[in-house]
Structure 1
Amino acid sequence: MTDTTPPAASEVLTDVHQGVGRIRLNRPKALNALTTPMVAAIDDALAAWESAPLTAVVLSSTSAKAFCAGGDMRAIRRNVLAGDAEASERFFATEYRLNARIAEHPVPIVALIDGICMGGGLGLSVHGGYRVVTENTVLAMPETALGFFPDIGAGYFLPRLPGALGMYLGLTGHRLDAADALYTGLATHFIPADRLHLVPDALAGHPHTPIDTVLKDLGDGSEVPHSKLAAVRPDLDRAFGAPTLADIRAELHRTETPWAADTLATLDSVSPRSLDITHALLTAGRDRTLRACLTADLHLARTTILEPDFLEGVRAVLVDKDHSPAWQPT
């Protein structure tokens, strides 16, 4: 075993074992919420392995509850309130560089998504080639509820999901289980949680077998429940395929189903400014490369974290947890 432990040793554990690089997130009390040193440590490890003779890189968590809850938005808010927005900008710049490295890495990356995976957690996983989910998986891009926007390259990957699924997920922050994650394409494989620990050794033991085959074999024919999103897909595509936010709302009003009513209530509860930004970002992202989307994310992040809605959204959801934000008019 070759130890390549990066600077954030206690929160990001890395090693190479029998030709498989392993990165484990180890900040369980914070649900692996990402800090700048954590992101830099992951990036350093992947950079060091770009020319290494590895079969795969496996990205996982030591937490039983979460793969990664996203970026540490409370810390970002504290930086802004302390007058140190540059510290938060460094976080986003480092994170987006890592997102691009994952997408372009020459060694296949396998993310083991057990438990919560939100925001920056999708940035660690969705840009890689293999995203394994379990019966415990919960995926979401919940940024509009925080007065922020779906970043980490979501402007690239959300518009490329089937139909209008990406616009729906980006605007509402809807939470997906394993079945929905597989249905949308955000996940590629299902393996029961009690078999997930077998993945690194299985990959190491079968270096000449396609990774897809190894993962499917570990899934052991497990049946995944039907996707709930599939049941509302026609209404979803019609509403969220509309060209403007006003048109989306109008279609939802015309639909007159419990799903449509719940979705309207969700849109009414999140930041109006974030909805505007997200709709524009995802619309423009259809014609952008991933790197262009990440550049746009950085420009937007610089200004959005200074806005009252961001400070208020993070306060309401993550700090005071009263879930009663006072949004600014759009």
Structure 2
Amino acid sequence: FSIILIVFTHVVNVLFGVSLCVLEQMSSQAEPDILLDKVGRAGVITMNRPKVLNALNLSMIRQIYPKLKKWEQDSETDIVIIKGVGGKAFCAGGDIRAVTEAGKVGDSLAQDFFREEYILNNAIGTCKKPYIALIDGITMGGGVGLSVHGRFRVATEKTLFAMPETAIGLFPDVGGGYFLPRLRGKLGLFLALTGFRLKGRDVQRAGVATHFVESQKIPDLERELVELKSPSAEDVSRVLDSYQNQSTLGADKPFILQKHISDIDRLFNSSSVEGIMENLKADGSEFAVKQAETLLRMSPMSLKITFKQLQMGASLSLQDVLVMEYRLSQACMVQEMFHPSASVILMLVDKDQSPKWKPSTLSEVSEQSVEQCFSSLGEKDLAL
């Protein structure tokens, strides 16, 4: 992608030479942002904002949540399928620019968006019906939250997954603190701190997706899922397994990180971000040097918050992780280091890929400032 603009908690909108504002203006108001259909005995959620890579906004969240809860209780609904249109993205993130602007002036949108998004993430994670996310295309930020907590996640060769929030001074939210530390070894921590991108079959090999199916087979897969009669999760799994077995694209290539898995487990095994940096520098291999260079470009504050987020999240429930991440999201809205002037807007509008972090080094980030971001919000805490 020629211009990487924004990855804010649940935002990565990859734009091609034009600003998000222009794309928003181009987006037709005649078309609904979200389609919620009943097809046979399946509830089908379709994100319908292809011109902005199906970016998630508050209106969409407010439509999806009650429909998901209704389908979960409906005896006439057996499964839920979520997908995106346009061929480029499942959902590239959250429509966050308005949220960051609201945060600067104290508008309630800064609380409402995160609160209601996380409540939706939890509803997906606890859904009693088989929930199938067809992540065909860019899946980042908010798109990860709409998919990764569901029972089934189907990647294709078009899937591009990443949680690169540390690159703009934020943290991998939408339950990132829950699913990332549960990936094998230190892989989740590596992905969280470096923002490394996984593509295609590698998204499944990493454990982010449950299945890999070639993109051209997705319409047939969806049709077969919809035609299932009172399916159990095992029935859905058998169909997905069948389509995966038919999909040989990329099967002959090893996992992109396979030769580095032991290195990642060793180098990212530390009690602090500083310790990881020391490991990387001491190792001196080409891989280690590259990761050290990557981390040096990231927000020092974000790296430390993300490290603690995953460290704590490894032993917490999804609900407790979302409560923790809501606290972090609100810290992002009030602390100077997170303000759009410091990073997000520079990358969004000025296309400046070298934001000036504050604090600028890991040593300048105090433990007290990190702890403060995790502090209880009292009666304003997220309630699930």
> Using the alignment, how far apart are the partners of 1:222 and 1:308 within structure 2?
49
Deviates more, 1:223-232 or 1:268-277: 223-232
The residue that corresponds to 2:354 in the other structure is: 324
> Using the alignment, how far apart are the partners of 1:9 and 1:213 within structure 2?
35
> Using the alignment, how far apart are the partners of 1:159 and 1:213 within structure 2?
28
After superposition, what is the alpha-carbon deviation per residue over 1:68-114, rounded to whole angstroms, capped at 9, x for unaligned? 11112222222223x03421210000000000000111111100111
Query: Offset at 1:205?
Result: 2.2
> Using the alignment, how far apart are the partners of 2:293 and 2:182 within structure 1?
26
The residue that corresponds to 2:274 in the other structure is: 246
Structure 1 unaligned residues grouped into runs of 5+: 1-7
| Partner SS, residue 345 of structure 2 | helix
The residue that corresponds to 1:74 in the other structure is: 97
Q: Which runs of 4+ in 1 moved over 6 A?
A: none
| Partner SS, residue 158 of structure 1 | helix
Pairing partner for 1:131 from 130, 135, 153: 153
Question: Does residue 242 of structure 2 align to residue 217 of structure 1?
Answer: yes
Q: What letter matches 1:222 in structure 2?
A: T
The residue that corresponds to 1:293 in the other structure is: 321
> Using the alignment, how far apart are the partners of 2:31 and 2:53 within structure 1?
17
The residue that corresponds to 1:307 in the other structure is: 335
> Using the alignment, how far apart are the partners of 1:36 and 1:229 within structure 2?
36
Question: Does residue 115 of structure 2 align to residue 56 of structure 1?
Answer: no
Query: Offset at 1:318?
Result: 2.6
> Using the alignment, how far apart are the partners of 1:309 and 1:30 within structure 2?
27
Question: Does residue 310 of structure 2 align to residue 282 of structure 1?
Answer: yes
> Using the alignment, how far apart are the partners of 1:91 and 1:237 within structure 2?
35
| Partner SS, residue 14 of structure 1 | strand
Query: Offset at 1:173?
Result: 1.1
| Partner SS, residue 257 of structure 2 | helix
Q: What letter matches 1:327 in structure 2?
A: W
> Using the alignment, how far apart are the partners of 1:267 and 1:130 within structure 2?
32
Deviates more, 1:317-326 or 1:202-211: 202-211
Query: Offset at 1:322?
Result: 1.8
Q: What letter matches 2:354 in structure 1?
A: S
> Using the alignment, how far apart are the partners of 1:288 and 1:192 within structure 2?
35
> Using the alignment, how far apart are the partners of 1:73 and 1:274 within structure 2?
18
Question: How many matched pairs?
Answer: 322
Give the alignment's TM-score, normalised by structure 2.
Answer: 0.81
After superposition, what is the alpha-carbon deviation per residue over 1:300-323, rounded to whole angstroms, capped at 9, x for unaligned? 111112233322221133332221
The residue that corresponds to 2:88 in the other structure is: 65
Query: Offset at 1:228?
Result: 0.9
- Identify if the C-alpha distance between structure 1 residues 292 and 9 changes in structure 2 by more than 3 Å, giving closer, same or farther: farther
The residue that corresponds to 2:35 in the other structure is: 13
Whether the 8 Å CA contact 1:179–1:226 is kept in 2: the answer is: no
> Using the alignment, how far apart are the partners of 1:85 and 1:169 within structure 2?
32
> Using the alignment, how far apart are the partners of 2:325 and 2:95 within structure 1?
17
Query: Offset at 1:179?
Result: 2.8
Whether the 8 Å CA contact 2:118–2:322 is kept in 1: the answer is: yes
| Partner SS, residue 82 of structure 2 | strand
Query: Offset at 1:285?
Result: 0.8
Q: What letter matches 2:106 in structure 1?
A: D
Query: Offset at 1:218?
Result: 2.3
Query: How high is the sequence identity, in percent, across the aligned residues?
Result: 39
1:113-124 to 2 correspondences below 5 Å: 113-124=135-146
The residue that corresponds to 2:9 in the other structure is: none
> Using the alignment, how far apart are the partners of 1:61 and 1:237 within structure 2?
34
Query: Offset at 1:216?
Result: 2.2
> Using the alignment, how far apart are the partners of 1:318 and 1:158 within structure 2?
27
Question: Does residue 261 of structure 2 align to residue 233 of structure 1?
Answer: yes
- Identify if the C-alpha distance between structure 1 residues 85 and 158 changes in structure 2 by more than 3 Å, giving closer, same or farther: farther
> Using the alignment, how far apart are the partners of 2:311 and 2:325 within structure 1?
14
